Structure 1
Amino acid sequence: GTNIITLLAVVKDPVSRTPALIFEHVNNTDFKQLYQTLTDYEIRYYLFELLKALDYCHSMGIMHRDVKPHNVMIDHENRKLRLIDWGLAEFYHPGQEYNVRVASRYFKGPELLVDYQMYDYSLDMWSLGCMLASMIFRKEPFFHGHDNYDQLVRIAKVLGTEELYAYLDKYNIDLDPRFHDILQRHSRKRWERFVHSDNQHLVSPEALDFLDKLLRYDHVDRLTAREAMAHPYFLPIVNGQMNPNN
């Protein structure tokens, strides 16, 4: 599939019988170094490439469930991106309850943190939103929780507690009693609050609009991968790929 790591072979150790998967090689640059150097255009370019992979796997009925920088290999010299580590991936069946112990803490959607099991592909779109926020605001990770409970608190400090309770009510979700002491009350913050002199060159009205349509409590409100690719944020990329001579 597009921008999905290619499995070349499976070999077995003759003695231990341990199987090993052999994948294509990607000359990856560590994201902690790379993300600090990316331009506005490059961020748009790589997120568009990542969306191609997500749109492909979602269209095949698969949720990745562990989208994060460590699982996005980027060969910057060749402008090549590959989505790797399909160990947590799962087929989506409407109405099925899934394990919430997936994804990595900083990229876990609210549905995982409140133990809502009927999630779907939109979980990956939350994780993508976390990556977008960390890239344009130069804040890695964007939601920096110390544990899974604190992770929801960090999200609520940005998206608001009233909005959180409205989401919980809609799905009849009972919050773990442990949250009552730590959640407190927080108003929704404007995305502009995270813009400062070091990151303003990466932020635009369309970037904030795109981010706002990904980082939503309610998974049904998030853009799909296909919808995301049609967002104005990617117009420079789409125009560039249609007219490669630009």
Structure 2
Amino acid sequence: MSHAGAAIARNKCRAERQSSLGASPWTEDLICTGTCDKRARSLYPKLTPHDIKFYLYQVLKALDYSHSQGLMHRDVKPHNVMIDHDKREVRLIDWGLAEFYHPLTEYNVRVASRHYKGPELLVDDTFYDYSLDIWSFGCMLAGMIFRKEPFFAGADNVDQLYKIAKVLGTDLLNDYLDAYDLELELEVEQRLGTLPRKQWSAFKNKDNAERCSPEALDLIDKMLRYDPAARVLPKEAMQDQYFEEVRKQDSGK
């Protein structure tokens, strides 16, 4: 199957999943188009496991809404999530790289900050879609859960793909490349070599153990996948067991 043909199949599958889920209620003030000068900008060390769930659930709401409006953010990262810890408010900011999604349209791969770039950007898959935001969100989630920020800390784009492959392995990368008729440059292929996949539990240690619940690791796994079509949708993630407590509180408002 050609690259474009694979993109058609991927887009159709995603559209069917999105349609079956329907639109979600939305609190519009979660999206802020300005700079949103909030006091608490980087609270990772202070956040409890419940705080992480609460704030990330709100970010998923923002992504679900923007995607339902046809808009890809394309620069999801911690610095673009503004938190007012006292007011328990969240803003997803900096929509300067946002773009409306149109099926079978090629997009510039020079978007997103390096440590949050999806594999599709790193292998020049120009037919990417909303799932790029889910990869970036997954990187953010992994960084918070494992207390390792950024989680994939590449020195350049090739090294970034290498850092990803050191975790997800090269077998699944090759499966993704084959499925979408993509090829790596020879120097990149040689840099990666052959790498085994690691289990998410391998990143658990005494400093992050309280955050590394089976539900958290499972959600990370659903987001950080090479194949964009295999990644969970924002609404699916919001229904995940990891967010059960927060979801109940949210529905009770």
Amino acid corresponding to residue 29 of structure 1 in structure 2:
A
Q: Tell me which residue corresponds to 2:39.
A: 28
Alignment of 1:82-231 (within 5 A): 82-231=91-240
In the alignment, the residues of structure 2 paired with residue 28 and residue 52 of structure 1 have an alpha-carbon distance, to the nearest angstrom, of 22
The alignment covers a number of residue pairs equal to: 226
What whole-Å deviation, never above 9, does each CA across 1:6-44 have from its counterpart, x for those lacking one?
x5xxxxxxxxxxxxxxx374423232xx10111100000
- Return 5+ residue gaps in structure 1 as ranges: 8-22
Question: Which among 27, 30, 34 is matched to residue 3 of structure 1?
Answer: 30
Question: Which among 41, 57, 68 is matched to residue 59 of structure 1?
Answer: 68
Secondary structure in structure 2 of the residue aligned to 1:82:
strand
Amino acid corresponding to residue 64 of structure 1 in structure 2:
H
Shift of 1:45: 0.4
Amino acid corresponding to residue 107 of structure 2 in structure 1:
Y
Judged with a 3 Å threshold, the aligned counterparts in structure 2 of structure 1 residues 102 and 236 are, in CA distance, closer, same or farther, namely: same
In the alignment, the residues of structure 2 paired with residue 212 and residue 175 of structure 1 have an alpha-carbon distance, to the nearest angstrom, of 24
Amino acid corresponding to residue 235 of structure 1 in structure 2:
E
Contact 1:2/1:56 (<8 A) preserved: no
Secondary structure in structure 1 of the residue aligned to 2:67:
helix
Judged with a 3 Å threshold, the aligned counterparts in structure 2 of structure 1 residues 189 and 64 are, in CA distance, closer, same or farther, namely: same
Whichever structure has more helix as a proportion of its residues is: 2
In the alignment, the residues of structure 1 paired with residue 182 and residue 36 of structure 2 have an alpha-carbon distance, to the nearest angstrom, of 44
Amino acid corresponding to residue 3 of structure 1 in structure 2:
L
Amino acid corresponding to residue 184 of structure 2 in structure 1:
L
In the alignment, the residues of structure 2 paired with residue 138 and residue 221 of structure 1 have an alpha-carbon distance, to the nearest angstrom, of 25
Contact 2:132/2:228 (<8 A) preserved: yes
Secondary structure in structure 2 of the residue aligned to 1:202:
coil
In the alignment, the residues of structure 2 paired with residue 118 and residue 155 of structure 1 have an alpha-carbon distance, to the nearest angstrom, of 20
In the alignment, the residues of structure 2 paired with residue 117 and residue 217 of structure 1 have an alpha-carbon distance, to the nearest angstrom, of 14
What whole-Å deviation, never above 9, does each CA across 1:168-201 have from its counterpart, x for those lacking one?
0111101122212210111110000000000001
In the alignment, the residues of structure 2 paired with residue 52 and residue 145 of structure 1 have an alpha-carbon distance, to the nearest angstrom, of 29
Secondary structure in structure 1 of the residue aligned to 2:249:
helix
Superposed CA RMSD in Å reads 1.2
Shift of 1:239: 1.3
Secondary structure in structure 2 of the residue aligned to 1:120:
coil
- Return 5+ residue gaps in structure 2 as ranges: 1-27
Secondary structure in structure 2 of the residue aligned to 1:175:
coil
Question: Which among 77, 80, 97 is matched to residue 86 of structure 2?
Answer: 77
- How does the TM-score come out when normalised to structure 1? 0.89
Whichever structure has more strand as a proportion of its residues is: 1
Question: Equivalent pairs: percent with the same residue?
Answer: 57
Shift of 1:2: 4.5
Contact 2:36/2:91 (<8 A) preserved: no
What whole-Å deviation, never above 9, does each CA across 1:144-187 have from its counterpart, x for those lacking one?
10000000000000000111111101111011222122101111
